[in-house]
Amino acid sequence: MKKLARQIIFYAALLGVWAFLAKLHLWPPYLFPPPWGVGQALWDGFADHSFWIGIAVTMKRMLIGYSLSVVLGMILGLAVSSNKFLEETLGGLLVSLQSLPSICWIPLAVLWFGLTEKAILFVVLMGSLLSVTIAMEDGRKQMPKIYGMAGRNLGASGFRLFWSVLLPASLPFIVNGMKQGWAFAWRSLIQAEMIFLSLGLGQLLMMGRDLSDMSQVMAVMILIIILGYLVDGLIFRTMERRLQEKYGLTPA
Amino acid sequence: MSTSPHQVDPPAVALVPRTGVRANVFYGKPVASVTAFPVRPVSEVVIPKVELDAISLSYKTTSGELLLALDKISLAVKPGEFLCIVGPSGCGKSTLLHLIAGLHPPTSGRILVDGAPVSGPGTDRILIFQELGLFPWLTVGGNVEFGLKMKNVSKAEREEKVQYYLRLVHLLNFRDSYIHQLSGGMRQRVALARALATEPDVLLMDEPFAALDAQTRDLLHDELERLWSETGRTIIFVTHNVREAVRLGDRVALLTFRPGRVKQEFSVSLPRPRQMEQNDVLRTARDILDCLRAEINKSLAEEYADEKAR
């Protein structure tokens, strides 16, 4: 609880400094809005439903694009990790592709799919697919060999060995990959939405810029941070911690 | 197999000259050792449960040189026998068990179970790994049930066996616990129950009690001896602890340090149940230890040499 108290004091102080600077009127309010201006923008945004719609549209895209990338990424990762030829060829290509920021896929996506939902989903997919694939592949390699041996020793082989031993044994690594994939997908989606002008949080952000409404810009930024943190920080990190404890990967 | 009229005598245990015999140590083929406990008929002509026929194993090290880990090991284990294998660390004891379990093929030589060659893992031989390899994503009950599921045993029968074997190792109350919630001794017992539940003919144990405190270990020795005498399993037990080997084994085979060879075999005919601190156990252990010491020195010398080289 002491930790929580310290955190509350820290954020209160941050708000205080912000309010103080805004009160000094060093910059005009449309460039440096006070905290209450941002609060008002948040309230208005939710009151006229534009933020609700933005969140719903963004989360829907996220769910579709991300789920797709997890499924494809697992299949790809498995294929790459279980085949020497694929590992040497496709594996290397995937690693090098990962150095490409996913925003770079936008021109290609627009030419292929036009300014459509598909193009956005494509960018999200490319954003997280690679990290899920690579994490899956790593997981298969890092997984302690003892589980596979114990499974074979107890009579498991073929698909059953995979399904009831190898897959659960690599679960902590899979979750880690899913977490990384989520972070990448989230960034890619907001970026794509900022360029595409098609509802969503990214577009709300750009709209704020176009209207020179810094309060709205900051309100949307706060929304993006909170949503991203909720999923990444709370859901994934909790899942990861539980798994690590269960699998004895952290000194308990 | 044994119906053949031209039944051939099984190859005798690799023998070593009788030297420095003490009253309770026999070198060579065990005489029909008259032991009061457990009572089991000793028939003279038996097909060995497990037979190692000159198996060797070599592998490439990371630096590319070929290393001979096991060198023409021949051993025969009778049905229901408790064989202990001792040797210095690095002599390939664990590797030997992995070979018998069928997890890797030997470079040369044959492994026979009931006279038939081994070609892969089989639930007639279950290995309890040194690191146990219990599945953390399953409960205690789930772990014990695993092998039965793989054998497609019906649900009712699985249920019955899980209960039976968990009771046997006194863990029935922990059935729904996960592995990370258990102590070291309890994990050992889960591993034992998981191995026993598939009802293998041969139990292969790789230093299963090495990481336990003395009290827990003594307790598990008693339980293992009881389980062995009750179920009549053949046990091959690897350890670096000579006293533990004498405490448990009908016979103790001593391996040499790199490459692993059978240096000598000792038959232990002390009456059961035995205790680690018993005088005659200690005396027998000392005899074997004298023989082992040379090998331990070799292994230590090599380790120190490695350190100096670094």
- Contact flag A155-B137 (C-beta cutoff 8 Å): no
Q: Are B173 and B129 in contact (CB under 8 A)?
A: no
Whether residue A14 has pLDDT greater than 90: yes
CA distance B10 to B185: 39
Nearest to B121 among A147, A153, A246 (CB): A153
**Cα Rg of chain B (Å, integer):** 20
CA-based nearest residue to B170, from B220, B217, B120: B220
CA distance A210 to A205: 9
> pLDDT tens, A81-96?
888 888 888 888 888 8
Whether residue B3 has pLDDT greater than 80: no
B250 is written with which tokens? 């009908």
Whether residue B150 has pLDDT greater than 50: yes
Angle between helices A50-82 and A117-142 (to 10 degrees): 40
Residues of B in contact with A152 (CB under 8 A): 103, 121
3-state secondary structure A2-68: HHHHHHHHHHHHHHHHHHHHHHCCCCCCCCCCCHHHHHHHHHHHHHCCHHHHHHHHHHHHHHHHHHH
CA angle at residue B85 from B220 to B24, to 5 degrees? 85
The predicted structure's pLDDT at residue A140:
80
Q: Give the dihedral sign, CA B142/A175/B129/B289.
A: negative
Nearest to A154 among B98, B146, B179 (CB): B146
CA-based nearest residue to A188, from A115, A94, A104: A104
Q: Where are the beta strands (DSSP E) in chain B?
A: 25-27, 50-60, 66-77, 82-86, 108-113, 116-117, 125-128, 202-206, 234-239, 251-255, 262-268
Q: How far is CA A74 from CA A37, B212, B310, in A?
A: 45, 40, 42
The predicted structure's pLDDT at residue A146:
87
> pLDDT tens, A156-214?
888 888 888 888 888 888 888 888 889 889 988 888 888 876 788 888 888 888 888 88
CA distance A96 to A99: 6
> What does pTM read for this prediction?
0.71
> pLDDT tens, A100-147?
888 888 888 889 988 888 888 998 998 888 888 888 888 888 888 888
CA distance A120 to A190: 10
The predicted structure's pLDDT at residue B88:
76
Whether residue A10 has pLDDT greater than 90: yes
A95 is written with which tokens? 């690693």
Residues of B in contact with A168 (CB under 8 A): 135, 137
The predicted structure's pLDDT at residue A16:
93
Mean pLDDT in chain B?
Answer: 77
As a whole-number percent, the residues of chain A with pLDDT over 70 amount to 98
The predicted structure's pLDDT at residue B117:
82
Residues of B in contact with A239 (CB under 8 A): none
CA distance B226 to B178: 26
CA distance B11 to B31: 16
The predicted structure's pLDDT at residue A8:
92
Q: Are B98 and B140 in contact (CB under 8 A)?
A: no
Q: Which of residues 169-208 of A touch B (CB under 8 A)?
A: 169, 171
- Contact flag A153-B127 (C-beta cutoff 8 Å): yes
Q: What is the arithmetic mean of pLDDT over B25-36? A: 44
Specify the 3-state DSSP secondary structure of A132. Answer: helix
> pLDDT tens, B239-277?
888 888 888 888 888 887 778 777 777 777 877 787 777
B33 confidence band (pLDDT: 50, 70, 90): very low
Whether residue B10 has pLDDT greater than 50: no
As a whole-number percent, the residues of chain B with pLDDT over 70 amount to 83
How far is the alpha carbon of A78 from chain B, nearest alpha carbon, in Å? Answer: 20
> pLDDT tens, B179-225?
888 888 888 889 888 988 888 888 899 888 887 788 878 888 888 88
CA-based nearest residue to B287, from B8, B56, B18: B18
Beta-bridge partner residues of B57 = B70
CA-based nearest residue to B134, from B92, B90, B177, B163: B177
The predicted structure's pLDDT at residue A6:
92
Whether residue B236 has pLDDT greater than 70: yes
The predicted structure's pLDDT at residue A247:
82
CA angle at residue A223 from A217 to A225, to 5 degrees? 105
Asked if the ipTM is above 0.90, the reply is no
CA distance A153 to A138: 24
Q: How far is CA B32 from CA B42, B68, B241, in A?
A: 7, 36, 26
Q: Mutation target for B interface from A143, A147, A154: give the one with most B CBs within 10 A.
A: A154
Q: How far is CA A22 from CA A17, A33, A36, A216, B252, in A?
A: 9, 7, 10, 16, 84
Which residues does B2 contact at the CB level (< 8 Å), separation at least 6? B47
B157 is written with which tokens? 């029968």
Residues of B in contact with A171 (CB under 8 A): 137
- Contact flag B180-A247 (C-beta cutoff 8 Å): yes
Whether residue A251 has pLDDT greater than 70: no
The predicted structure's pLDDT at residue B11:
44
Q: What is the arithmetic mean of pLDDT over B128-147? A: 89
* pLDDT top residue among B103 and B41: B103
